[in-house]
Structure 1
């Protein structure tokens, strides 16, 4: 069983701490067994979390036994105790995966493990992270960055995206989708493997006039749809449809449709052995070449490389 250690330091952000606890403890394998063993670790017997205190059952020694260490954000940027940094560096040297949520990136950056790598944090803290750790390539425009062994995420909501991304990496999309449903979270944010970065489309407000159209686009993504087809379904002129889409999503209907096709292709690449050319046809691309080009542009890698990284085993 994969062991996840969540490091709780003084002034830990409660939501950043509770998110990985909830997500990983609820994740189940297809046969019903728990996918993860979760441990809360502290540098001290009592952790000051601001409005309450924590008494972690495990200390820093437990980090050496973890497969993944999660670093939640803290409410201030006080220096990280050297014994914590040493424990994290040792775990990394042993191959442990380290992931930060929000300002937890400051803890990870303080170890020096992010030097020369791209990383992210909450956009409000990005400039400070870049100033304090100039060797880190800080990108404030993404939800999370996956460098393979070291992962960072933006705000608290992006931390949930990152947790689901790691579950998907570990156990495939079916297990991750179940975890997403339990979290009432759509598994729609395109992932990537080492050093691939996720760019997300702005969400459409629930109850928006576009919500039924988007559901229809998802259900009909494999069809050869035109802008006129979408406008007819929406009961709008093409000009009005384009305007409303740009106002509410920041993109066009056809661009949204292309991304929906890519999401469907990701699932087929993970869950089936269908040839790439067949998948291209299944999800509505006119040619395998067009599919490969679009997939790489959106996801950051080729369909073949994506399948090698994420296809479910067994």
Structure 2
């Protein structure tokens, strides 16, 4: 048996992890839900707060659960499932960290994160315990899989940028929030968050403008000013570059789509 892994994201395309490793992803909106996949891992991390505000993603997860997808949350991924109204009782094969731990509780996987233990359980179910144990031994031999981490200072500065999207901000201000020199701040932010502070701020502004376009009837010009983008022309330029559409078209399309995942536009990540 061969396993095929597919990485999904809200935007699709190249995504930078918090450890600055780039991976190629498909848009979750373009990924068909058949209920036949072996498992769906919903990860957490620094983008979880923004993901919780993404109505399209929450609806897609709800639909995945309805179609019988086996779902396993990783870290803050559990918050996304809770937002979608998904719990162990209502999800086919919902993995539980305690359960996956008990399956390999003999010391073999004591240094392996829950997500890998969950994957090993799939191997055991499909190919038997002997094969799963050989895979586990190769995973744990001589090392522990590292967990990506973001420092409290950088996380605080990221939240400060998100809270101040409506006004002009400088990197010097953001660096002071992190209690670092500007040069060190720029280097650390890119290393830990996987993108520059300017790109993080732009993404937050675009996320807010998308939400206001869908949830309010405010004019595009006013939305642009509210999100610190300057004007409607600038917002339209950014939408065309990063979302391959215009604010007016985006509002109209999302109004028609509602919560139908197959209708959502594929979007390009800010980079």
Q: TM-score range by the shorter chain?
A: 0.3 to 0.5
TM-score (norm 2): 0.46
Q: Indicate the structure with greater helix content.
A: 2
TM-score (norm 1): 0.41
Larger RCO (alpha carbons 8 Å, 6+ apart): 2
Q: Indicate the structure with greater strand content.
A: 1
